[in-house]
Chains A and B, each alone.
Chain A
Amino acid sequence: MSRPAGRRWRAGLRPRLLAAFVAVTVLGAAAAAWSGAGSASAALVDSAQRRLTETVTSQIAAVTPGLTYPPGQDALELLRTAVSPNAVVTYRDLRAADGADLTTDALREAVRTGGRLVSQRIDDGDRPWLLIGTPVMITAVDGTRTPSGIEVYVARDLTPVGTEIAGMTRSAALTAALALPLAVLLALLAASSVLRPVRDLRDTARRLAAGDLDARSRPRGSDELAELTATVNEMAGSVQSSMAAMRRMQADARRFAADVSHELRTPLSTLTAVVEVLSMTADRMEPDARESARLAITETQRLVTLVEDLMEVSRFDAGTAELRLEDVDVPTAVRQCLRARSWLGRVELRTPPALVARLDRRRLDVVVANLVGNALRHGAPPVRVTVTGTGHEVRIEVADHGPGIPERVLPHVFDRFYKADAARTRTPGSGLGLAIALENARLHGGDITAANRPSGGARFLLRLPGEGDG
């Protein structure tokens, strides 16, 4: 088993539960089988031994009163016949034997010194044997016993007992093995009862993470998992309500901005008309008054730009911004954009001869104007605009050679009304230009990224999808 596979096997809750259950069951069953079979086999061996020794004792006792004493060879043969097979009968130098003589020294020693019937189990490598050894005693009339010098050694095959024990062990092992599928079944049941709520919770959490704030799990029972489920539900509920509140507030704020800009439009157009009249007569004014009039004209123009930008942003927020796609030759459009704002002289433009893509001409103009205007205002010349087509997207890069964007500001350059320098609040822009540019790019399915070039200066890269070729 390779290591990753092993880790996977240990990883799941179900395999772990299963393994633990099975291990406990097998251990329990094996212990029970072992102790049961062990004590049963001990009893079996014991009873077989007792039976065999008693048989030998009675076989000997049956013939001894008829034996001549001191015994001759024929008497020993007679005794040997009585206890055969595998019997050895000795008396001093005489010896009668048949079958295998497996007698151990320990047994012989015990027979000679103990004066009692003894036995020993041995294994000759082939089968188990019970060796029985006994002296034959002479009992006096008064009951005192003395060894007669006759010794009888008998070997009895214990194979039948072994077979019986093996059968018993097999059946015990089989019973233990039968417990195994039961354990697996129980483990699976337990695992599923634990894992089903866990899986439900996981699914719910996944749905919550995916944005489905209505997702809930139904708590079952009253255990810790049910408590956890209830807690998760509570959490989801509170997240949902705060999200709803936030959305409502956001929508309110947007509507407010939209309403304000809309309401400002009518008085502002009146104001614009007045300012135009004022600008026509400004040249004939006193120098002081002329200065004030110029200021009023500039500020009014800024206000108009701001309100227009606000309305544009509101349209994006409301989702009412429309994309009017047409075949646009990007180099031409960029050049027109720069020419219209008289920036051609200040900008270095690099374009392929032709690059046609399906874009919204007006929005492309807004984006390019915002990016270039931003570079001219905040960066240092030369400002370079590079148009390239990669086959599936159009890239317009605007780079300047200024100090670049401070690291602190970089993540916020596309935020609305974000001022890079808090002290320098009065800039000609509305503070919405880059935000609007980004919204326009996104409306196309594209993106704008801002970065600093290693050689210095800021670099904005606009990428728009489209079948640009060239």
Chain B
Amino acid sequence: MRLLTALLLLVVAGCGVRPSGVTEHGEAPTGVAPGVTLYFLDDAGGLRPSFRETERLGSVSEALSLLLTGPGTASGQRTGITSDTTPRVVVVTKAGLVQVVVPLALSEVTPRGIDQIVCTTLAVHVQSGGDRSTKVQVRFTQPTPESEVERTCPVIS
């Protein structure tokens, strides 16, 4: 009888939630940053990261709005995107793909301008914990095959 009781106790004790040591559970969350990185063009037409001290990383949409607003006149930087008064961007994130719907027609953006959008999007995506191999699809207001292309940033990855 004593043996039985001991056995039962063992069974019951073996099945509860027992304290444990410290165990790892993967990557820590990320996403804090003192500012956001935008991509503009230098005089030679090369992509140049431009750090903006916004005190926070912010969303892809906010970063793209800043990008569409332009580099400012005194920065010595240029942009390949026609300035727009309502720089609102819709961002849809899917598995391995970020879709950005820009309020622009393909004609308003140079190929380098598209790279600017892709790189800025990807930079924010990576900084907020996203995968660097994520593709970016830039969708324009007018139907065009370019809207379907999944792009990568030439200076990231």
Contacts and interface: CB of A to CB of B under 8 A. Distances in A.
Interface string A187-205: 0000000000000000000
Among the interface residues B10, B29, B55, which one has the most CB atoms of the partner chain A within 10 A? Answer: B29
A116 B26 CA distance: 6
A141 B49 contact: yes
Contact of B8 (A58, A143, A161, A173): A173
Contact of A115 (B10, B25, B28, B126): B28
A37 interface: yes
Contacts of A116: 24-28
Nearest to A83: B29
Nearest to B155: A141
Contacts, number: 167
Nearest to B119: A141
Given A117-B27, A150-B32, A69 B56 contact: yes
Given A26-B7, A64-B128, A145 B23 contact: no
Interface residues of A, number: 62
A169 B127 contact: no
A136 B28 contact: yes
A146 to B, nearest CB: 10
B131 to A, nearest CB: 9
A173 B11 contact: yes
A279 B55 CA distance: 166
Contacts of A166: 15-16
18 contacts: A34-B10, A58-B29, A64-B57, A66-B56, A66-B57, A69-B55, A116-B24, A118-B24, A118-B25, A123-B18, A135-B28, A138-B33, A141-B37, A141-B123, A145-B30, A165-B16, A168-B15, A173-B11
Interface of A: 26-27, 30, 33-34, 37-38, 41, 45, 49-50, 53, 57-58, 60-61, 64-71, 106-107, 110, 114-123, 128, 132, 134-143, 145, 148, 150, 152, 158, 161-162, 165-166, 168-169, 172-173
By Cβ-Cβ distance, the 5 closest A-B pairs, closest first, are A64-B31, A60-B29, A128-B17, A137-B30, A121-B20
